[in-house]
Amino acid sequence: MVIDLLSYSLIPMFSSLALPFFAKKNIRIAIILANVALLSGFINISYLIINSITKPDIIPIIDPLTVFLIFTIYTVALAISFFSTYYGIEKEANPISYYSLILLSVSAMTSLVMVRDLFSLYLFVEILAVCSFALITSDIKSNSIEAAIKYFFLTFPASILIILGISLVLASQKALDFEIISVSTNIMTMIGLSFVIIGFLIKSGVVPFHFWTLDVYQGASSPISAYLAGIITKIGGIYAIIKISIIMKYYPVETISSILLFTSILTILIGAFGAIAQKDMKRMLAYSSISQMGYILAGVSTFSSTGIIAAVFHLFNHATFKTVLFLNSACIEKQTGTTNMTELKGLEKKMPITSWTSIIASMSTAGIPPLSGFWSKILVIIALWQVGYIKSAIIAIIASIITLGYFVLMQRKVFFGKLAEKLTEIKEVESPLLLPVIIMSLMIILAGIYVTYIYSYLEKIM
């Protein structure tokens, strides 16, 4: 474990434990404590990361990948926590345990990216699963408990596969340390790591294990859908695959690489085609999220430096633009009471900020320059091209055009055209709800403009 960064895990953990005691009589204290804990961590890690980008010689970074991911985790968690405060989550569920679970999940995720052995990795993934399971049930109106049970039961076989894989690695290597596993290659370890990868593929919700994600994203309350799609499934699933692919740098990985590539292309296509046919905005975003997961996996499947950098960068971009899109859908749901796209029309006139932030995030997802999504997608495609997966690179480009297509359709249906009659009384949401969305949209634009700095930073992770 990276001891220097331990405070990023401990502070939210202790804050979550303190919440029930301090906020017993006044819920506002819980809200303030949770937001302040996350904000302080966010400011701190931003300072660290900006300094290491602008003054790389003066302030060397201990572990660039870990720091970058902690920054991503804090960014999304703070946005969700702040958004939930004004979204009226206290009417839906138990607010104290809601914020405690958010803080605890942040703590589990930061610990997860800090650990240096397989068993600890598994342990924190399970803690994250417990927190997510409870958070999914936050929406009192919909039947979110069914979604939560689905999540739990479908990710349970994944845990068995991971444990099986870990035991094979342990039997063959007599160690679980990443450093030791990465140096001594052996067939039994490879089989074990393959089981671990399959387990995490299920947890990530890639095709053909994607069915649970659709119901869960649609069934959970909107801020939690954003949290799950934005960061939890990425850190609790795809990050582990990225980490293992870094470990397996010296392994003969041709077979695993081609299987992962096939899965990723299937994920990209099924996600993209599935999104076109959807009428519900949240379900469409869920399909889009699956498709983007395919891009991250495509980068990983190359097992090359460029591929891994592209995967990590796309993970960050996906966290920002998908959070914005899900939070936009939450704003729309709050004001109109629905996310069914057939009932919505012309909202741009009534909700201009929601509309334009949604356009920025959609265009970034589709890979329109100069937004951040363009650079990470182009890096994935370059990585695929470099290792000779030319057909896959072309499919990735075509799928990106499909992505643009369904997002343009969504914008046209929801935001443009003549305003639907029953929506004439609708107003833009309160400004505190727009703040996280605006800040994250700015991050999408800035990450696109200053991509050279980010790339030079990410080069250090390999």
Partner 1 sequence: MILYVLIYLVIIVGVVGAVISKKLLNSAIMLAIASIGISLLLFGYSAPWAAVFELSVCAGLITVLFISAVSLVKNEEDTTKEKQIKYSIFPLIMSAVVILSSIFIPEYFEKLSSYANTTQNGNELKIGDIIWSIRGIDVIAQIMLLAGGVFAIKHIFSYVKKQEE
Q: What residues make contact with partner 1 under the rule CB under 8 A?
A: 1, 9-10, 13, 16-17, 93-94, 97-98, 100-101, 104, 107-108, 111, 115, 117, 119-120, 123-124, 126-127, 130-131, 133-135, 137-138, 140, 144-145, 148, 170, 174-177, 180
Is the Cβ of residue 102 or residue 256 nearer to partner 1 in the bound state?
102
Total length of the chain: 462
Nearest distance, CB of residue 124 and partner 1, angstroms? 7
What angle (nearest 5°) sits at the alpha carbon of residue 377, between those of residues 440 and 115? 70
Is the Cβ of residue 90 or residue 428 nearer to partner 1 in the bound state?
90
Is the Cβ of residue 144 or residue 364 nearer to partner 1 in the bound state?
144
Is the Cβ of residue 10 or residue 401 nearer to partner 1 in the bound state?
10
Is the Cβ of residue 103 or residue 359 nearer to partner 1 in the bound state?
103
Is the Cβ of residue 148 or residue 269 nearer to partner 1 in the bound state?
148
- C-beta neighbour count of 153 within 10 angstroms: 10
User: Could you give the dihedral angle defined by the CA atoms of residues 142, 272, 228 and 199, in that order, rounded to the nearest 10 degrees?
Assistant: 110
From CA 193, how far away is CA 189, in angstroms rounded? 6
Is the Cβ of residue 125 or residue 310 nearer to partner 1 in the bound state?
125
Nearest to 346 by CA among 410, 422, 417: 417
Whether the CB-CB separation of 196 and 165 falls below 8 Å is answered with yes
Nearest distance, CB of residue 135 and partner 1, angstroms? 8
10's enclosing H/E stretch is helix 7-22
Nearest distance, CB of residue 218 and partner 1, angstroms? 17
The DSSP symbol for 176 reads: -
Nearest distance, CB of residue 21 and partner 1, angstroms? 12
Nearest distance, CB of residue 247 and partner 1, angstroms? 17
Kindly calculate the radius of gyration of the chain based on its CA atoms and give it in whole angstroms.
21
Show Cβ contacts of residue 158 under 8 Å, excluding neighbours closer than 6 positions.
Answer: 198, 199, 200, 202, 203, 209
How far is the CA of 47 from the CAs of 36, 42, 59, 264, in angstroms? 16, 8, 11, 35
Residue type, 338: T
Whether the CB-CB separation of 39 and 78 falls below 8 Å is answered with yes
Nearest distance, CB of residue 137 and partner 1, angstroms? 5
How far is the CA of 34 from the CAs of 13, 191, 276, 433, in angstroms? 10, 42, 38, 17
Nearest distance, CB of residue 100 and partner 1, angstroms? 5
Is the Cβ of residue 22 or residue 455 nearer to partner 1 in the bound state?
22
Nearest distance, CB of residue 158 and partner 1, angstroms? 18
Nearest distance, CB of residue 195 and partner 1, angstroms? 18
Written as one string, the DSSP assignment of 208-253 is TS-HHHHHHHHHS-HHHHHHIIIIIHIIIIIHHHHHHHHHGGGS--
Is the Cβ of residue 35 or residue 386 nearer to partner 1 in the bound state?
35
Chain CA centroid to CA 383, Å: 21
Is the Cβ of residue 118 or residue 298 nearer to partner 1 in the bound state?
118
How far is the CA of 61 from the CAs of 271, 400, 448, in angstroms? 36, 34, 22
Nearest distance, CB of residue 7 and partner 1, angstroms? 12
Is the Cβ of residue 145 or residue 188 nearer to partner 1 in the bound state?
145
Residue with tokens 């939890």: 232
From CA 269, how far away is CA 372, in angstroms rounded? 21
From CA 179, how far away is CA 183, in angstroms rounded? 7
Nearest distance, CB of residue 366 and partner 1, angstroms? 36
